[in-house]
Structure formats: C-alpha cells, structure tokens
Amino acid sequence: MPRILIFDFDGVIADSIPLKAEAFRETFSFVPEHQDEIVRYHLDNGGMSRYVKFKNIYRDILHQPLTRKQEEVLATRYQEQILQAMYTIPLIPGAEALLGRYAAVIPLYVVSATPEEEMHTIAERRGLAGYFIRIYGSPRSKADCIREILSEAGVHPEDALFVGDAPQDWQAAQETGVRFIARVAEDDINRFEDLPGVETIVSDLHELGDYLVSR
C-alpha cells in the first residue's frame, strides 16, 4: 500500500475527456479546416496546460504568432464551454467510493493541468474537495507539484503512487520517481504500451480499488 495517493483529475476522477475535446473543437471553430488536427493534438497531449496547448497549436498547426489578447479570448471561450458542465459531468466509475474509502486511511492529492483556482472551484462544487489534503493545478508543472507533495509529506518517491491517464502524467512520475498507474478507458487508445515504469493499467477506479486491496 502506498503512503500517499496522487490523482490527475480529468479522465481519472471526472469523465471529462470527451467534454474537453469538444470544447477545444468549438474554441477553434474559426479555423474549421484545422479542427480535427487540433482535437487530435489536444487528445494526444492530455495532462498539458491549455495555455501551453494554445501556444503550440498556433505555432505548429496554424503557423501564426499568438498574442496575449488572442490567448485570453481562447481561454475565455474554452472555460465558458466547460465550467458549468464540469459541475455535473459523471465521475469515473468507482471514483467516489474509492476516495471515500482511502481519504480516511492515507493522504490524497490532486495534481491537474487545469488552472489551480478553477480546479478548486470544480472540486468544491462537486463536493470532492474534502477528500484531498491539497489540490494542485497549473501553471506549475505536475513534476514540481509532486516534488512539493513529497517534501511536505516527508515521503520517499517509492512510497507515493500517481494515477494518471496521459503520457505527460507518466513523464511527471518518471521525473519524480513516484510509482505510476495508468487509467485507460476500455474504448480508448492505450498510450502507455511499452512505456517503462507503468505499474499496471486500470479501466476505472473500481479496478484501481481492487488493485490497491491486492497490494
């Protein structure tokens, strides 16, 4: 059993990946010829801040400079599409039961690429904030957040377990030395095939709970 559990939020606790993919499509509705490529980029880079995605999309797909004003407009359009839905969107099966069980046993944390203030608001509105010792979000990198958790908790990396659904989550685990479990939906692409350091893959948090009990 790990001494602390760290969770990504989108795609691990909340079933929000389809919602956010469609929000990216609509945010870039002004370039319909690039929408499919933009959505693919978004899905292939889960765990990355939306602001970094905006910059990369402009640079690598649209081949245009991104001004501060344009970035603000994109961020506002995107947030307007997702925020209310995030308050009611389904959780990943088994999420609330697992959080309720383990919050009383070991410290739980969220490390998300969602802006931190927005992440706090979502967790509060969903009634989830009380499960977690602390909720982290962007602009800080996930690796930096995990390092802070380890330092403040006084826990060695091998005693911490990070559950994520994106290669960027795996990369943060690699950088910090914590254990890593991937959540891959049954109908999704396995982006973790052949990656070292993936302890196991689960399709939902019922499976994660079963795995933790077996350890």
- List of the chain residues with pLDDT < 50: none
- What Å distances lie between residue 84 and 89, 105, 141, 183, 210, CA to CA? 9, 32, 25, 25, 32
Count the domains in the chain. 2
* Domain end marker among 86, 104, 131: 86
pLDDT at 99: 98
**Which of these three, 41, 70, 86, is where a domain ends?**
86
- Please tell me whether residues 100 and 204 are part of one structural domain: yes
Residues 103 and 205 reside in one and the same domain: yes
Residues 98 and 177 in one domain: yes
**Residues 141 and 179 occupy one common structural domain:** yes
Secondary structure of the chain as H, E, C letters: CCCEEEECCECCCECCHHHHHHHHHHHCCCCHHHHHHHHHHHHHCCCCCHHHHHHHHHHHHHCCCCCHHHHHHHHHHHHHHHHHHHCCCCECCCHHHHHHHHCCCCCEEEEEEEEHHHHHHHHHHCCCHHHCCEEEEECCCHHHHHHHHHHHHCCCHHHEEEEECCHHHHHHHHHHCCEEEEECCCCCCCCCCCCCCCCEEECCHHHHHHHHHHC
Bridge partner residues of 6 (DSSP): 109, 162
Greatest Cα-to-Cα distance within the chain, rounded to the nearest angstrom: 51
Which pLDDT belongs to residue 187? 86
At residue 152, the pLDDT reads 96
pLDDT of residue 29: 96
57 and 163, same structural domain? no
CATH code for position 116: 3.40.50.1000
Domain boundary among 86, 111, 145: 86
Give the model's pLDDT for residue 17.
87
Task: Give pLDDT, residue 164.
Answer: 98
Give the pLDDT score at 81. Answer: 87
97 and 81 in one domain?
no
**91-147: per-residue pLDDT in tens?**
999 999 999 999 999 999 999 999 999 999 999 999 999 999 999 999 999 999 999
Range of the domain at 129: 4-16+90-214
Which amino acid, residue 79?
Answer: Q
